[in-house]
Amino acid sequence: GGEAIAIETDVRQRQACQNLINQAVAHYGQLDIMVCNAGVEILKPTNELEEFEWDEVINVDLKGYFNCAQFAAKQMIKQGTAGSIIMNSSICAFVAVPKSSGAYSAAKGGVNQLVKSLAVELASHKIRVNAFAPGYMNNMMEGTEGLRSTSDEMGELYTRIPMKRTGDLKELIGPVVFLASEASSYVTGTIVMVDGGYTAI
C-alpha cells in the first residue's frame, strides 16, 4: 500500500548521490530518512587482494555511505527538520569472519565509526545516526556466492550461532523501522546487532 520510486545510483559517484537526494526531495517534498545499504564483497584472503579490489570494496561500502549520509544530512539541515540516517554495518566490523576479506571488515569498521562521529556532530540538528549489523543471512550479497558452499560449512556455521540458523531478510525490517521511527527518538550513535547471537560468544 506504500509508494516508491526507483533511482539508479552509483554510490561511488558523489554527483549520483546528490542526484538521488535531489530526486527524492523533488518527488516527496523533503527527506526524513536515509538508509545507506549498498554493499559488495570480494571473497579473497587479504594478502591476495589486488589494489583495485580493495578500492572497489572501500569505495562502495564506506565512501558510498559517506557520500549518501553527507548529502542527506545537508538536506535535513537545510529543511530544519529532524531526521534519521541508518547504515548497514556487519558482524565483520566486530569479529574476524572466515572467508571475509580485510577490505570488507575495514569498510564496516569504518562505517561504525562514521555512525558515531556523525551522531555526535548532527545531534544538535536533531538528526540521529545509527546502524544495524546483520550476521549471516539467507540471502547472498554480490560477491559472497561461495561463502557457504557445502553442508559441512553450514553445519560448522550453525555451531557458532546461538540461535542455530541464519537470518531471514524480513528480520532486518524491524530493526530498520525502529531506527527510522520515533520509537528510537533517544537512540543515536548505536549499532544494533541482528546476528542471532553470533557476536555474543
| pLDDT of res. 156 | 85
110/159 Cα distance (integer angstroms): 28
Residue 201 located in a structural domain:
no
Query: Domain range holding 40?
Result: 14-194
Do 167 and 196 meet the contact criterion of CB atoms below 8 Å apart? yes
Annotated active-site residue in 65, 104, 136, 198: 104
| pLDDT of res. 68 | 98
| pLDDT of res. 97 | 86
Residue 2 located in a structural domain:
no
| pLDDT of res. 100 | 79
The β-bridge relationship of strands 191-194 and 33-36 is: unpaired
pLDDT for 3-58, tens place per residue?
999 999 999 999 999 999 999 999 999 999 999 999 999 999 999 999 999 999 99
Kindly tell me if the per-residue pLDDT of 82 is higher than 80.
yes
Residue 136's domain is classified under what CATH number?
Answer: 3.40.50.720
What does pTM read for this prediction? Answer: 0.93
Is 104 catalytic? The answer is yes
Residue 47 located in a structural domain:
yes
Count of domains forming the chain: 1
C-beta atoms surrounding 54 within 10 Å: 19
